[in-house]
Structure 1
Amino acid sequence: MTKVTELVADVVTPLAEARGDELVDVEYVKEKKQYYLRIYVDRRPGGIDIEEIANLSELVSEKLDELDPDPFPEPYILELSSPGLERPIKNEKDWERAKGSYIHVSLYQKIDGEKTYEGTLKDLNQNQIVLEVKIKTRRKEITIPRKVIASSRFAVEF
């Protein structure tokens, strides 16, 4: 995380937790000529609805406006949203939550000729995950070293 995203996380986390919400991620990015501050929040169980997001957005906006000195070098657009059904798996808490769930994993290097897999997360430890994947009509467990995982997220199984 950058200094800006860390600062925003420090501001948003207590606001979210006081409402029973969870801060999932913070992004501060420049797209074309515009900066965006994207904050993703969720609520367990059942998720967070648009009205709750709007209320939290107002609280967050007020708190960010109070920061002195202003940590944002340029004007930005604040976007607060749910991470959605395909939320990213970024930390150990997310990995534990994903156990038994259907996930998508992208790899830095091929394993068994593939750089992406979707399947059920069966097990994990500090060094690897075990994913049950479906290949045609058969199910197979593959072990993936965590150091080769580029990104991962929950997925919707069809």
Structure 2
Amino acid sequence: MKGKQRGGTSAQAVEPIARRVAEEQGLELVEVAFNREAQGRTLCLYIDKPGGVTLDDCERFHKAVQPLLETVDYDYLEVSSPGVDRPIQTRRDFEKNQGAQVEIRLFAPLDGAKVFQGALSAMDEETVTITLPDGAQKPFPRKAVALVKPVVVFEDEDE
């Protein structure tokens, strides 16, 4: 047990500590999550930076943040990139992905479909708007949107 007390240290308690370390290293703290697994409780810290994080970034961040988390209840500490296809949730996520191709998944069908693709053109508290391939703007009420994520396209090396 890394932490001093068994129980429920929350992500909200870890976030300011991890955010400070990330900022000191020129990184962005994207997410803090606790996962209960067979081997114990894993504290997952997801970091990012323009151009993506490297293994060295993750290792440096891990070494800097771990000593500051000695009172936190966890068995394993995992530091990782959030991945190229992580959901777009925050204003910062939107800013980084504005104009990019995204997939929007809805809770219920709209115009006969639950999944739409297009270029992310606007996002606020009430609405997410994409530009469809035909150039039309398609707004979606935020409360109807289950997920917005980047469309990942792998280019063929032969082309």
Give TM-score scaled by structure 1 length.
0.81
Matched residue, 1:8: 14
Q: What is aligned with 2:60?
A: 55
TM-aligned CA deviation for residue 3 of structure 1: 5.8
Cα drift, residue 140 of structure 1: 4.5
1:110 aligned residue: 109
In the alignment, what sits opposite 1:156?
152
Q: Deviations over 1:9-31 (max 9, x none)?
A: 11100100011100001111213
Per-residue CA deviation, residues 54-102 of structure 1 (Å, 9 max, x unaligned), is 111111211112x3xxx42xx4221101112112212122123221111
User: Structure 1: any 5+ residue segments left out of the alignment?
Assistant: none
Q: Quick check: 1:143 aligned with 2:149? A: no
Matches within 5 A, 1:1-158: 4-32=10-38, 34-44=40-50, 46-65=51-70, 67=71, 71-72=72-73, 75-134=74-133, 138=134, 140-157=136-153
Structure 2 unpaired stretches of 5+: 1-7, 155-159
Taking structure 2 as the reference length, the TM-score comes to 0.81
Shift of 1:127: 1.5
**Runs of 4+ deviating beyond 6 Å:** none
- Matched residue pairs, number? 147
CA contact (8 A) 1:102 1:157 kept: no
- State percent identity of aligned pairs: 27
